[in-house]
Structures are given as C-alpha cells and as structure tokens.
Amino acid sequence: MIILGIDPGYATIGFGVVETVGSQAALRHYGTITTPAEMAFPQRLAVIYRDMNTLIDRVAPEAMAIEELFWGHNVTTGIGVSHGRGVILLAAAQRNLPIFEYTPMQIKQSVVGYGNATKHQVMDMTRRLLHMQEVARPDDAADAIAVALCHARASTSLLARIP
C-alpha cells in the first residue's frame, strides 16, 4: 500500500510517502508544498490545491493519512491551517482517495509507543523505523512521514481485521 502522509498548514505543508508490504514499511519520497507569505490568502489556498492535486497524481497513493489539528495558543494561525487542511481534504476527496485522520497523540503512540513523546523522539524513531541515514528536513516533512508511518502501522494491526 502506498500511503501519503500530510502535515497540514498553509505556509508549509509537509508530505511523506511510505510504501508498505505486509508489516514492512519503506520511505519513498518526502518534501513540502510552500506558499509565499506575501501572496493573498485565497491564492495561497489555490496553490495548495493545485500542488496537492499534482502530488496525488504523481504519487498515486492508495490512502491519505493526515494529522488532525491541535488548537494551541494562536487561534488565528489555527484558522489558517484549518483552511489549508480543508483544501487538502478536498483534493483527496475529489479523487475518492480514502482519508484517515490521526491526532498528534495517536501518531506519537504509534511511532514511539508513548503518546506524550517529544518531537525529537518521534523524528528519531521515524528515522530508525524507516532506516533513514538522518532525520528528514524540514520538520514539516518529518512530521508528515510520521503520520504516514502511523497509518502504515495502524492498517497492518491485527485490530484492523476485526469486523
């Protein structure tokens, strides 16, 4: 299964492509979609939508895993990220791509085994599990890889087979 992991945003959207065969997972590609800060917000959303469609076409994923939003202290940023996330979900839904959403705690639990793991712990464990030479950069891409890996592990769990 080819899984497209997404760390949503509007300035920088991380993506990671993980391929699984049985319980084995391998990193295929990662990177970011970026939008210029000086661009009007609606145009930034248009760039995200266009680039997400291009990414989906090139990668041909069988599933998209995306991080659910965590509302921190900056509500204004959260609203912008919500808009970006909506555009990303729209691109996937228009292609009938199955979408799976995970909370930050679920991602940490799946990758590290501890729901309150630090960002560094998640990034290092992702590197180890996927046999990477170094942690992916930027952080947005590393986060997206962890989201994809979370889905890879969840979809091969024996619990996923229970009707």
124 is catalytic: no
51 is catalytic: no
What is the reported pTM? 0.91
pLDDT at 79: 83
Bigger pLDDT: 156 vs 99: 99
Q: Where are the domains of the chain?
A: 2-161
What would the mean pLDDT of 126-132 be, rounded to a whole number? 94
What are 14-45's pLDDT values in tens digits?
Answer: 999 999 998 889 999 999 999 999 999 999 99
Catalytic option among 19, 51, 62, 67: 67
Name the fold adopted by 2-161: Nucleotidyltransferase; domain 5 (3.30.420)
pLDDT at 154: 87
Catalytic option among 19, 38, 134, 140: 140
Are 4 and 64 in contact, with CB atoms under 8 Å apart? yes
Q: What are phi and psi of 162, to 5 degrees?
A: -75, 125
Catalytic option among 7, 19, 51, 143: 7
